[in-house]
């Protein structure tokens, strides 16, 4: 039997190490090596997938049952850490500011506990240490392999600094939004700033497009469906007395319902192209689809709630977010559930002073284990 005190100590030390040595999306080489080292020290089987970064541990139960997957994302962010933690980042300009270091360690703890409880485990659990969540596309690296081929359910979790340690946020239905990106290039005709009649001003056209895009949410989308569009970058010109030939803008669309995603893509293209046309310019729209919305299966959410209550956690309604998670790519194939684990109230995720209370590590590992034991 694993000594719980000893396990907790090891998890905390591992957490400090991961926090000190953060690695960005697709560069998680040392992180992956450390995860492997810890799994091997507990004699946990690692599947022989040839992933560049990230890896998959497997725990085979002694009873028949489904194949379940637990997703733990492992990458950090390009942020200069501003905490006074003794184990703050030793890699300048990189930081675990989204709590993925906690995800790794809770996943490792869960793998250890499941391994020990193989007699009670029905079926198989794959613990997937996934790269590059912050890129929104890391899950696709896992989906390129056959890791998910026989998986029946997928579970995910995220550190939540809006709640105290000991609080679990659960909601059935949509919890994060679909994340799409657009780039609009407006092509006009450049000329002297004093002779606009000689050209076609792409800046004026862009301004009209930005205004009109906001009519999608207010006039086209069902008022009961959450969605938004933000133009976040607009770029044109080089000086004060020249009208440039081109303007480029980009932004993001967030939706929950699949039909709204389709509607936005169609309307953004239509508005940009036709507005530009009305001004004698041309607009070229590039649409870059990211992950869909994350949707919590009711039965799975109920199990998460039941287990949390049995274990003495406080259960609150998980807040839905217009942020996204590439976890949703897995849910395009199979049912899933994604819960929020309170990590101590403090600075939000992606903030330079974000911090996780290490006291949540072992309880989170135990909670995930209970869910997977069913
Ligand atoms: Zn993040
Ligand atoms: Zn995250």
Ligand nearest to the CA of 156: 2
Q: How far is the CA of 107 from the centre of ligand 2 (A)?
A: 14
Indicate the burial class of 234 (C-beta count within 10 angstroms; 0-12, 13-18, 19 or more): middle
CA distance 247 to 2: 62
- Work out the number of other CB atoms within 10 angstroms of the CB of residue 18: 26
Quick one: pLDDT at residue 2?
78
CA distance 219 to 337: 32
pTM: 0.91
Domain 178-289, CATH among 1.20.1600.10, 3.30.70.360, 3.40.50.720, 3.40.630.10 = 3.30.70.360
Provide the 3-class DSSP secondary structure of residue 366: helix
* 30-51 burial code (b ≥16 CB/10 A, e <16): ebbebbeebbeebebebeeeeb
Q: How far is the CA of 189 from the centre of ligand 1 (A)?
A: 41
Q: Where along the chain do its domains lie? A: 4-176+293-373, 178-289
Q: How far is the CA of 323 from the centre of ligand 1 (A)?
A: 9
CATH topology of domain 4-176+293-373: Aminopeptidase (3.40.630)
Give yes or no on whether 4-176+293-373 and 178-289 have one common fold. no
List, as one string, the DSSP characters of 216-237: IIIIIS-TTS-EEEEEEEEEE-
In contact, 286 and 252? CB cutoff 8 Å: no
Quick one: pLDDT at residue 291?
95
Which residue is it, tokens 């976040």? Answer: 232
Q: How far is the CA of 156 from the centre of ligand 1 (A)?
A: 14
* pLDDT per 10-residue tile (average), the chain, 374 residues: 91 98 98 98 96 97 97 98 98 97 98 97 98 94 95 98 97 96 98 98 98 98 98 97 98 97 98 98 97 97 98 96 95 97 97 98 98 96
Q: How far is the CA of 361 from the centre of ligand 1 (A)?
A: 18
Helices (H), the chain: 4-20, 29-41, 100-116, 138-143, 202-213, 215, 258-278, 298-310, 328-331, 361-373
In contact, 360 and 344? CB cutoff 8 Å: yes
In contact, 136 and 179? CB cutoff 8 Å: yes
Quick one: pLDDT at residue 223?
97
Phi, psi of 331 (to 5 degrees): -75, -10
């Amino acid at each position: 039997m694993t000594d719980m005190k000893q396990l907790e100590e090891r998890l905390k030390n591992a957490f400090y190490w991961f926090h000190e040595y953060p690695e960005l999306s697709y560069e998680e080489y040392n992180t992956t090596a450390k995860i492997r080292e810890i799994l091997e020290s507990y004699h946990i089987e690692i599947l022989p997938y040839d992933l560049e970064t990230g890896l998959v541990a497997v725990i085979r139960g002694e009873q028949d049952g489904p194949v379940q997957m637990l997703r733990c994302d492992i990458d950090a962010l390009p942020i200069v850490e501003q905490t006074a933690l003794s184990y703050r980042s030793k890699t300048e300009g990189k930081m675990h500011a989204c709590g993925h270091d906690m995800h790794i360690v809770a996943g490792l703890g869960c793998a250890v506990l499941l391994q020990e409880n193989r007699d009670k485990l029905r079926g198989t659990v794959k613990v997937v240490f996934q790269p590059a969540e912050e890129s929104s596309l890391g899950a696709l690296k896992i989906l390129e392999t056959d890791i998910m081929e026989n998986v029946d359910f997928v579970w995910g979790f995220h550190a939540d600094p809006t709640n105290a340690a000991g609080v679990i946020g659960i909601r059935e239905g949509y919890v994060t939004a679909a994340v799409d990106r657009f780039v609009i290039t407006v092509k006009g005709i450049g000329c002297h700033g004093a002779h606009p009649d000689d050209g076609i001003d792409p800046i004026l056209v862009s301004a009209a497009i930005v205004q009109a895009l906001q009519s999608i949410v207010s006039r086209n989308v069902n008022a009961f469906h959450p969605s938004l569009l933000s133009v976040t970058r607009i770029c044109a010109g080089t000086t004060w007395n020249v009208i440039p030939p081109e303007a480029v803008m980009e932004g993001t669309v967030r939706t929950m319902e699949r039909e709204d995603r389709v509607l936005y893509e169609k309307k953004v293209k239509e508005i940009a192209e036709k507005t530009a046309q009305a001004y004698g310019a041309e607009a070229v729209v590039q649409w870059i689809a990211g992950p869909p919305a994350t949707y919590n299966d009711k039965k799975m959410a109920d199990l998460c709630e039941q287990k949390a209550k049995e274990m003495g956690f406080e259960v609150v309604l998980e807040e839905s977010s217009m942020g996204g998670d590439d976890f949703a790519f897995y849910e395009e194939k199979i049912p899933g559930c994604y819960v929020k684990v309170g990590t101590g109230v403090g600075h939000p995720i992606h903030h330079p002073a974000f911090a996780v209370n290490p006291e949540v590590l072992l309880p989170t590992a135990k909670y995930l284990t209970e869910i997977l034991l069913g």
